[in-house]
Amino acid sequence: MPVTPTYPGVYIEEIPSGVRTIIGVATSITAFIGRALRGPINEPTTINNFGDFERQFGGLHVDYPMSYAVRDFYLNGGNQAIILRLFKSQEEGKDGRAKYNTGNLYLEAANPGTWGNNLSIKIDYDDIDEDFAARYGLQTTDLFNLTIVENPPRGTIERINNVSLKESAGSLRVDRVLKQQSQRVRIQMSSNAPRGIDADGNRPPETPEAQDPTNPDTEPSNINKFADGADSINLTPEDYRGQKDEAGLPIPKTGLKALDKADLFNLLCIPPEIRTEDTDLEIYKLALPYCVERRAILIVDSPYTWSANKETAAQKAKKEFSKFVSDIGANTRNGRNAVLYFPRVLQADPLRDGQLDTFVPCGILAGVMARTDVNRGVWKAPAGIDAGLIGIRGLEVNLSNSENGLLNPLGINCLRNFPVYGRIVWGARTLRGADQLADEYKYLPIRRLVLFLEESLYRGTQWVVFEPNDEPLWAQIRLNIGAFMNNLFRQGAFQGKTPSEAYFVKCDKETNPQNDIDRGIVNIIVGFAPLKPAEFVIIKFQQIAGDIAT
């Protein structure tokens, strides 16, 4: 702040530099939507490896293709994923959670699924401290200990000590403690209130020794387990649109829109409900505009029927591609945010004794994109001899060069099998990548680079809001955005030998006329020269005539 001199001498004043560093956002956070064995419902959950998925969502399951897609993502170089588990109850009025009650203690599994039927509890009154109880205004007879066992008698154990059913127990009230400390169990709710919690709540009866689920010698038939847990049935497009309340009105931030709770994702994968079927076209049609809104890329899996006859797969894909693109709403500018790969892949299924089966490649391709981003940058096409497909045994269809030539001009990215190089990605176009469209976002790396720039600058210029709109502000904007763009130029993100050839940032009196200033608007124009992939390499040969006397 300015110094007010009052005495003769030297004063120190710090002057702001105007530098506000803009940090590039992540480029390969992948959201997966679908069913899982367990885990929170309509809550986007960030995981960093497949071990996290196994712990929180139950790992691989033959009925849930999303689990295989997540595994493939990490096998191929994926780093961070967001899992959105959706659930549809088998019976109306039931939420699929396993239940247990002792007469005055009503418990349920933390989330739906048959996994909850493997839960059991032990209630004891051991080591209840009288002074501890008195500190909370309770008697020792108000407190009890709760032990939760998954897959008894030798399963995972959670121990919750000193809880109460009394309303006056405060932070020791069992529903509050379980919500904070347990990953497996919650108190059942009745009319939005904890069931069985009241001022006169007596503690539940102690578990008999013969039924102790923590004792390895207990007879399994004697252990009281939770019951009535049920897995989700197949989802429909309506489930992706979101849940509805009793009046039939949409519940905000459920279904696909639950991803609103996630700060950022760059890629979206929606595997089919059944591995031998397709993701419903209405689901893709719903997801594509949402990806445009969130500046993300939708990875679309090719229809299963395209490869039914391997000899004519390429011709069938070419014939049906235009209708498929129209059906998912990608025949508009929204198609710039979608990419399709063909064919599907063959993998060994560890849950079926290593038998080969067909799987969608969306998780694999998301992992390849993440790996390419780390090694080369988001401006590098996730294709070529370095874009190998890891963890697969083959491709459902082995395409030839001529068959590849039928599909590539349409915008279908092919997966190929080459000698030496193996199975690799051999295409990098968006669904607006058909030659006839001549779209400026024909190529996937250009579209992804633009989305990266948009998101980074959107977040990195929030400080501009409410600043005085005049030349000092414009100079700061040019300085900070210019520094960000120059850093990308030095990394090789743009064409050109000099910064002036590679990009420009314009924010001055010309872009901000007085009328816009009066309306509170500041206009910033950022231009760049994108790097386009070398899709076709043409080598020309010519004989040298030699030394001919003339």
Q: What pLDDT digit, counting tens, does each position of 488-523 carry?
A: 999 999 999 999 999 999 999 999 999 999 999 999
In a domain, 229, yes or no: no
> Do 389 and 247 share a structural domain?
yes
In a domain, 453, yes or no: no
In a domain, 330, yes or no: yes
Q: Residue 187: beta bridge partners?
A: 107
> Do 215 and 157 share a structural domain?
yes
φ, ψ dihedrals at 387, nearest 5°: -95, 60
| Total of domains in the chain | 3
Q: Residue 528: beta bridge partners?
A: 503
Per-residue model confidence (pLDDT) at position 1: 64
> Do 59 and 39 share a structural domain?
yes
Per-residue model confidence (pLDDT) at position 14: 87
Q: For 143-161, what is each residue's pLDDT tens digit? A: 999 999 999 988 889 999 9
Per-residue model confidence (pLDDT) at position 542: 85
Residue 550: pLDDT band with limits 50, 70, 90: low
Q: What angle do CA 138, 128, 223 make, to 5 degrees?
A: 115
> Do 486 and 521 share a structural domain?
yes
> Do 213 and 329 share a structural domain?
no
Per-residue model confidence (pLDDT) at position 129: 83
Q: For 46-74, what is each residue's pLDDT tens digit? A: 999 999 999 999 999 999 999 999 999 99
pLDDT at 200 over 90: no
Of the residues 222, 251, 278, the one at which a domain ends = 222
Q: Which residues have a Cβ under 8 Å from the Cβ of 243 and sit 6 or more positions away?
A: 42, 250, 251, 254, 255
Per-residue model confidence (pLDDT) at position 549: 67
Q: The domain containing residue 18 runs over which residues? A: 1-22+467-550
Q: Residue 476: beta bridge partners?
A: none
Per-residue model confidence (pLDDT) at position 245: 78
> Do 280 and 354 share a structural domain?
yes
Burial annotation 391-401 (CB, 10 A radius, 16+ → b, else e): bbeebbbebee
CB 116 within 8 A of CB 101: no
> Do 107 and 84 share a structural domain?
no
Residue 90: pLDDT band with limits 50, 70, 90: confident
pTM of the entire predicted model: 0.93
Residue 328: pLDDT band with limits 50, 70, 90: very high
In a domain, 227, yes or no: no
Of the residues 445, 475, 498, the one at which a domain ends = 445
Sign of CA dihedral 273, 278, 282, 286: positive
Bond into 533 cis (ω within 30): no
Please state, in angstroms and rounded to a whole number, the distance separating the CA atoms of residues 470 and 43: 43
Per-residue model confidence (pLDDT) at position 292: 97
In a domain, 151, yes or no: yes
> Do 412 and 327 share a structural domain?
yes
Mean pLDDT of 261-280: 95
> How deeply is 418 buried, as exposed, middle or buried, from its count of CB atoms within 10 A (0-12, 13-18, 19+)?
exposed
> Do 146 and 72 share a structural domain?
no
CATH code, 302: 3.40.50.11780
Mean pLDDT of 241-269: 90
> Do 368 and 471 share a structural domain?
no
| pLDDT, averaged across the chain | 93
Residue 17: pLDDT band with limits 50, 70, 90: confident
In a domain, 459, yes or no: no
User: Residue 72: left (phi > 0), alpha (psi -120 to 50), or beta?
Assistant: alpha
Residue type, 276: T
Q: For 448-464, what is each residue's pLDDT tens digit? A: 999 999 999 999 999 99
Please state, in angstroms and rounded to a whole number, the distance separating the CA atoms of residues 146 and 314: 61
Per-residue model confidence (pLDDT) at position 201: 83
Q: For 163-188, what is each residue's pLDDT tens digit? A: 999 988 889 999 999 999 999 999 99
> Do 396 and 299 share a structural domain?
yes
Q: For 19-45, what is each residue's pLDDT tens digit? A: 899 999 999 999 999 999 999 999 999
Helical segments of 224-312, H only: 237-241, 281-294
In a domain, 230, yes or no: no
In a domain, 41, yes or no: yes
> Do 473 and 533 share a structural domain?
yes
